[in-house]
Amino acid sequence: MKKIFFLAVMFSLLPLISFSNDKPIGLKAPDFIVRSGDNKELSLSDIKGKVITIFYETKNEIEKNRKLKTELNKFYEEQPEAVKEGVYRLAIVNCNGVIFSGAWKSALRENSEKEGITIYGDWSGKMASAYKAKNNSSNFIIIDKHGVIRYYACGIVNDKEINKIKDLLKKLIKEK
């Protein structure tokens, strides 16, 4: 009887397990620690309670979703100050395996200034692993105020999807 119950539970969880391995939507966001070019650490717990948009990319993929970044920056700038305070925009570059970290840190500082947002590095690769980020791709993730992953995309995001993302952000910003 115990074996039958165990098998029934396992089969009922199988769709969740296989889905969570593909895209972690609906799951609690794993904590992470990333570091800026100025050696400032940031973790998920530092920004909890905010709607978080994350671009996780390798240096060769940063321009792939430029349109999405531009649209989301416009969307953010149009928001009242009170809304802006409840949103955290996070840009992360996969720096795992970098040999000349000084040059990379300098590039992170320069690009942070150029983009008007602090760009962090995932120096250990642990965040990439925890968030199932695809290497050599532009990964975009939205985490709600409760720390749950609500959106996950890998690759170029099209115009129709950009509108869905903005609608989702409007909804998440209003949630308590």
Residue segments in the chain with a per-residue pLDDT below the cut of 70 = 1-22
Domains of the chain, each with CATH number or no CATH: 25-174 (3.40.30.10)
User: How far lies 35's CA from each of 30, 42, 43, in Å?
Assistant: 16, 6, 9
pLDDT of residue 24: 86
Instruction: Give the per-residue pLDDT at 1.
Output: 52
pLDDT in tens, 149-170: 999 999 999 999 999 999 999 9
Q: Quick one: pLDDT at residue 23? A: 75
Q: CA-CA distance, 8 to 20, in Å (whole number)?
A: 19
What pLDDT shows up at residue 5? Answer: 38
Q: Is the dihedral of CA 176, 159, 140, 153 positive or negative?
A: positive
